[in-house]
Structure 1
Amino acid sequence: MRNLIYAAAAFLFFGCSLKTDVPQATMYEIHYSNKECSAENKQKELKNVFIENVSALDMVDTRKILIVAENNKIRYLTDAKFVSEPSEMIYKSLVKGFYSNCAAKPIFSPNAKDLRLKVSIISLQIRGDKAEVSLAYELFNANTSLKSGMITKEIFCPDPSSSTIFETINKAANLAIDTLISEIIY
């Protein structure tokens, strides 16, 4: 019996020494990079905008970075992930975008006269050789829908490396957010 216990313990220790280390995935965060408002955007009275929590399609709202090949085969990057779900990162980027715009300011407790913005992420992916970001939005006040639409931005991704893929997705997200803000404000 004692020999059996020693053999089992030796087997367990030996098995642990054979384990391989799984490489850690690189983590990326979508961030809004436009930090300053331009002088022409400065207005005397800022528009208050309440940004609702951003929603996303299930396929998009994952920490995995989505790749759609030319033949519509879907895969995810294995060596890179988002640090949080895209809906959270886009919400954070929208708040930063409105703060840096100078024509509007995000608020967190809306009044009846304040604008409300509802955004849904339709796509956030690499499709073929382009980063694609699509945002559907609706702007409304307490009673009425004022404006709605869909914004899609694509940027050529020159290299299939994870860092380049992320950089082009981030640039496309920034362009989509800038376009969304200009659609709402002007």
Structure 2
Amino acid sequence: MRNITIFLAAILLGGCMLKTDVKPALMYEIYYSKNVCEQKTSPKNIYLQSVKALDIVDNRQILIISDKNQIRYLDDIKYLALPSEMFYKALLKGVYSNCGAKPVFSPKDDDLSLKVRLISLQIRGDHAEVSLAYELKNGENIVKSGLINKRKFCENPKSVTIFNTINQTANLAIDELLAEIFATQGRE
């Protein structure tokens, strides 16, 4: 009986070792690409709450939705972290690189507070799609809230092109969100 157990264990371990030819998935990170602000102004303090995302979006796999609403994930590439974490980092960099705002981590009563919910971060058909809802508050007063939806054509269905298009679309959404924030600064 002992010999049979050893023999079965050897077969199982041998089978696991034969599967070493599987390539690991490449990892990608969503990042904000602009580093320089256009005009110097006196910066307004802004507190960025952590970004939250829908469950289907907050997944390390890259989501592809066909024209017929069939859902699949890419096998050969993944996000480095959860999209909500990467989007928070990209948004923080976007606010920091914009001279009209200064991110703070301990807000005071007169600081702006931004809450963001990531609704979609995916390829839908042949377009990258990024949708987010936001709420900008000054103390207890809601200054502005809204929905931003950005789409960008994905020229090539290769995995790297898909990620790059999603990242460019995320940058467009962050740029529009920053424009919405700074458009409200004069109305507070």
User: Residue 169 of structure 1 is aligned with which of 151, 163, 166?
Assistant: 166
The amino acid of 2:24's aligned partner reads: Q
Out of 15, 36, 49, the residue aligned to residue 46 of structure 2 is 49
CA deviations over 1:91-126 (Å, ceiling 9, x no partner): 101110011110111110000000000000011000
1:81 aligned residue: 78
5+ residue gaps, structure 2, are: 184-188
Q: 1:31-180 to 2 correspondence within 5 Å? A: 31-38=31-38, 41-43=39-41, 45-180=42-177
Return the alpha-carbon distance in structure 2 between the equivalents of residues 95 and 24 of structure 1: 30
> What is the aligned partner in structure 2 of residue 11 from structure 1?
11
Secondary structure of the 2:173 match is helix
Deviates more, 1:140-149 or 1:8-17: 8-17
How much identity, in percent, do the aligned residues show? 58
Superposition deviation, residue 4 in structure 1: 4.3
Distance 2:4 2:83 in 1: 52
Distance 1:134 1:9, change over 3 A: closer
Q: Distance in 1 between matches of 2:114 and 2:143?
A: 10
In the alignment of these two chains, the number of paired residues is 183
The 1-side partners of 2:182 and 2:95 are apart by: 10
Shift of 1:22: 2.2
Matched, 1:25 2:22: no
Mark the CA change 1:152 to 1:20 in structure 2 (over 3 Å): closer, same or farther. same
Shift of residue 15 of structure 1?
3.2
Q: How far 1:16 sits from its partner (Å)?
A: 4.6
In 2, Cα distance between equivalents of 1:58 and 1:13: 36
CA–CA separation in structure 2 for the residues paired with 1:26 and 1:155: 23
Residue type of the alignment partner of 1:53: S
Alpha-carbon distance change, 27 to 2 in structure 1, aligned in 2, over 3 angstroms: closer
Q: CA RMSD in A?
A: 1.7
Structure 1 unmatched runs, 5+: none
The CA distance in 2 between the partners of 1:168 and 1:162, in whole Å, is: 10
Deviation digits for residues 115-147 of structure 1 (CA, Å, limit 9, x no counterpart): 000000011000000000011100001121010
Moved more, 4-13 or 171-180: 4-13
